[in-house]
Amino acid sequence: MAVSYNDLFLTILARALREHPRLNASLEEDAIKLWPQIDIGLAVDTDRGLLAPVVRGVERKGLAELAAETTALAQRARMGKCTPDELAGSTFTLTNLGMYGIDAFTPIINLPECAILGVGRIRTQPVWASDHVEPRQMVWLSLTFDHRLVDGGQPRASSSGWRS
């Protein structure tokens, strides 16, 4: 099974969410729920509109397993055959518009999730490296997050409303 850029981004994203668990969270009534498992919705363009089937337990899967699962999920989504369970329960979403030549965009959060990561196209750009310019593959990433859950600062010792 061929590994896609989305599979690589899912793997990297799972590691980042382990390091920053407040981004793998949801707002439930007046409390913030930190999710122990990383279940990432992968946005798929379909004839019926954008769907985000869920890749469950991303943190426990290797690239080959992710590649097989994301290929099957995307195919089922495009054919309109995803089950309700496959479309619900994500803790974070990944959306990629790079294949459409989009460099950067502002993705919309899939509530009740805390955040969504938008991936733009990967392209070669000149980069200054020490004493010379060299070509490198670069990508724009756009993170949209709910400031009610993540304010960008470190949590205070007296903060309340958090549970895991």
Instruction: Indicate if 20 belongs to the active site.
Output: no
Rounded Cα gap, residues 96 and 55, in angstroms: 15
Q: What is the per-residue DSSP string for the chain?
A: -PPPHHHHHHHHHHHHHHH-GGGSEEEETTEEEEPSS--EEE-EEETTEEE--EETTGGG--HHHHHHHHHHHHHHHHTT---GGGGS--SEEEEE-GGGT-----PPP-TTBSEEEEEEEEEEEEEEETTEEEEEEEEEEEEEE-TTT--SSPPPTT--SEE-
Choosing from 48, 81, 132, 147, the catalytic residue is 147
State the catalytic residues: 147
